A and B are shown apart, each in its own frame.
Chain A
Amino acid sequence: MRTAVAQLLRRPMTLFGAIIVALFLLAAVFGPMIAPYPYDMLIRGAARLPPSADYLFGTDQIGRDVFSRVLWGARDIITLPLLTTALSVLFGTSIGLFIGYYGGWIDEIVSRILDALLAIPALALALVMLRAVGPSPFGIVAVIVVLYTPIVARVVRAAALSLRGSGYIEAAKLRGEAVRYILFREILPGVLPALVVEAALRFSYAIFLTASLGFLGFGVQPPSPDWGRMVNEARTAFSQVPWALWFPAGAIILLIVGVNLLSDGLRRVFRYEGQLL
Chain B
Amino acid sequence: MITPVVQVEDFNLEYRLGKRWLNVLRDVSFAIMPDEIHGLVGESGSGKSTLALAIMNSFTPNARVAGGRVRFEGEDLLDRTPAEMRSIWGKRMSLVPQDALAALNPSHTVGDQIGEITRLHEGLSRRESLRRAEEMLRRVRISDPETVMRRYPHQLSGGMQQRVTIAMALSTSPRLLILDEPTTALDVTTQAVIVDLFRDLIHDTHAAALYVSHDLGLVAQLCDRVTVLYGGEVMACAPAADLYGRPLHPYTISLLASLPRRTEGAETRLPTIEGVAPALADRPAGCVFAARCPAALEQCRREKPPLEVIAGDRLIKCWRWREIASGALIIDTSPQQGAGDAPPRDGYVLTAQAMFKAFDPPTLVDRLLMTGRRPLRAVDDASLRVRARSTLGLVGESGSGKTTLARLIVGLETADAGALELLDMPLDLRLNRRPRSALRELQMVFQNPNDALNPYLSVGEQLGRAVRWLSDERLSRDTVRERVRALLSAVRLPETFAERYPVELSGGEKQRVAIARAFAADPALVVADEPTSALDVSVQSVILNLLKDLRALKGASYLLISHNLDAVAFLADWIVVMYLGEIVEQGSVAQVYSAPSHPYTEALISAIPVADPAAQRKHIRLEGELPSPRDLPTGCRFHTRCPRKIGAICEHDAPPIREAGDGHYIRCHIPIEDLTRLQVEDPAAHVSEAG
Contact = CB atoms under 8 A, between A and B. Distances in A.
Interface of A: 166-168, 170-171, 173-177, 185-186, 189-190, 275-277
A246 to B, nearest CB: 46
9 contacts: A166-B451, A167-B448, A170-B444, A173-B412, A174-B412, A174-B443, A176-B436, A190-B454, A276-B503
Contacts of B465: 175
B448 A174 contact: no
B649 to A, nearest CB: 42
Nearest to B442: A174
Contact of A175 (B448, B452, B470, B514): B470
Nearest to B470: A175
Given A174-B442, A189-B456, A168 B462 contact: yes
Nearest to B462: A168
B454 A189 contact: yes
A226 B162 CA distance: 65
A167 B455 contact: no
B451 A171 contact: no
A168 B451 contact: yes
Nearest to A163: B451
Nearest to A165: B451
B500 interface: no
Interface in B436-456: 436, 439, 442-444, 446-448, 451-456
Contact of A176 (B439, B451, B503, B517): B439
A-B pairs with lowest CB-CB distance, top 7: A189-B456, A167-B452, A167-B446, A166-B451, A168-B454, A176-B439, A167-B451
Given A173-B431, A174-B411, A190-B455, 20 more contacts: A166-B451, A166-B452, A167-B453, A167-B514, A168-B451, A168-B452, A168-B454, A171-B446, A171-B452, A173-B412, A174-B431, A174-B439, A174-B442, A175-B466, A175-B469, A175-B470, A176-B434, A176-B439, A177-B469, A189-B457
Contacts of A166: 451-452
Contacts of B454: 168, 186, 189-190
A277 B518 CA distance: 26
Nearest to A190: B456
Contacts of B503: 275-276
A112 to B, nearest CB: 16
A171 B434 contact: no
Contacts of B518: 171
Contact of B455 (A170, A177, A275): A275
Contacts of A175: 439, 465-466, 469-470
B410 interface: yes
Interface string B148-175: 0000000000000000000000000000
Nearest to B456: A189
Nearest to A168: B454
B42 to A, nearest CB: 26
Nearest to A179: B432
Nearest to A192: B456
A168 B453 contact: yes
Contacts of A190: 454-456
A168 B410 CA distance: 15
B51 to A, nearest CB: 27
Interface in B28-57: none
A277 to B, nearest CB: 8
Contacts of B431: 173-174, 176
Contacts of A167: 446-448, 451-453, 514
A27 B15 CA distance: 48
B500 to A, nearest CB: 14
Contacts of B447: 167
Nearest to B436: A176
A179 to B, nearest CB: 10
Contacts of A277: 456
Contacts of A189: 454, 456-457
Nearest to A177: B469
Contacts of B410: 174
The listed residue with most B CB atoms (<10 A of its CB), out of A166, A168, A170, A185, is: A168
